[in-house]
Amino acid sequence: MLKNLFTKLEGYYDEMISIRRYLHQHPELSFQEYNTAKFIQEYYEKLNIEVIGQVGGNGVVAKVYGKKPGKTVALRADFDALPIQDEKDVPYKSLVPGVMHACGHDGHTATLLVLAKTIYELRDELEGNYVFIHQHAEEYAPGGAASMIESGCLEGVDVIFGTHLWASEPTGTIQYRTGPIMAAADRFELEIQGKGGHGAQPHKTRDAIVTASQLVINLQQIVSRKVNPVDAAVVTVASFIAENAFNVIADKVKLTGTVRTFNEELRQFIEEEMERIIHGTCYASGSSYQFDFIRGYPAVVNHEKETEFLIRCAQFVSEVQTIEETEPQMGGEDFAYYLEKVPGTFFFTGAKPKQGEDGYPHHHPKFDIDEKAMLIAAKTLGSAALNIHKE
């Protein structure tokens, strides 16, 4: 059966490329993916596959029922784009100014659509049921996963698998990890209110820039001096905004940034420690402040049994040359919410372009993928979906 699946996927590879390139030319931002969702839903409708739109927002869920009894397996792909100008010189360059698929979500969608089509054609020979979750708004918290779950996309699901096309790794590579594989991704906003004045009379002011500068340094002590060195954590101050003339001492400064952690206890500790340091630094300078810690996605924590199973399934894919354990990634992913509800695993599929260069990282204006990785991703996900009934 797996051989039939792989053969069909290979036959539909050109269609997979066509879908990916169409989506690449017509990207839509998080929570604005109306045409993309319509495209996905209409694809299923033309195949007479059961499909539901507007799931938890712009989400789309399709279902295929095997003829024989078995488990219900869910496969997920995201489909939102980023506010980045596409700078690639390719025929499928984004046609939308300032918006592009710079993270591979177009490839995720094309992979899952064609895989669903293939599984549907084999349904009379298959066991169990298959749920295809097309998720909107992965790139921007609160994301689309939580609302889709609330709308019932995981009802009856026994196990879930997802992959991310990973342009930093060679095509033919599958990377996995048991336990935490991607970090909780939180952000913070901090506004410091001092007392402005003339640049020549600092003694009559409470300089918000000086206070903010001290905070940038003080906040770095959380990870370097408060967190156990064996625990990974990041506190990044990413922006420092104080608009004034050259001879004016600022009365207000805004800092924004992100915090990344892998366990809930450390996540809570850093939030509390930030508040303590901010309070003390501002008290010392006589300034007031407004601090908002905005929780994003929790950490992606893979289940051991399902991760080991995925490794075995990847071995059936001839194009997979390397299966390796990866280090935890500090990037965030709202696939975490699915794994909090049902067993499963999230893995990386190598997709580095083969143009004789290192390629560009995710979220770069010239980001691209090796499209062959989509076929590998489809076969790996398909292998897991079909073999899960033997477990």
pLDDT of residue 172: 98
Single-letter residue type at 327: E
The model's pLDDT over 282-295, given as tens digits with 9 standing for 90+, comes to 999 999 999 999 99
Single-letter residue type at 17: I
Confidence of residue 356 (pLDDT cuts 50, 70, 90): low
Q: Return binding residues.
A: 103, 105, 139, 164, 363
The model's pLDDT over 119-129, given as tens digits with 9 standing for 90+, comes to 999 999 999 99
Q: Return binding residues for Mn(2+).
A: 103, 105, 139, 164, 363
The model's pLDDT over 73-92, given as tens digits with 9 standing for 90+, comes to 999 999 999 999 999 999 99
Domains of the chain, residue spans: 2-182+299-390, 184-297
Mean pLDDT of 344-368: 89
Mean pLDDT of 168-196: 97
pLDDT of residue 362: 96
Q: 184-297 — its CATH code?
A: 3.30.70.360
The model's pLDDT over 342-352, given as tens digits with 9 standing for 90+, comes to 999 999 999 99
pLDDT of residue 243: 83
Q: Which residues are catalytic?
A: 80, 138
Q: pTM of the prediction?
A: 0.94
Query: 358 pLDDT exceeds 70?
Result: no
2-182+299-390: what CATH class? alpha beta
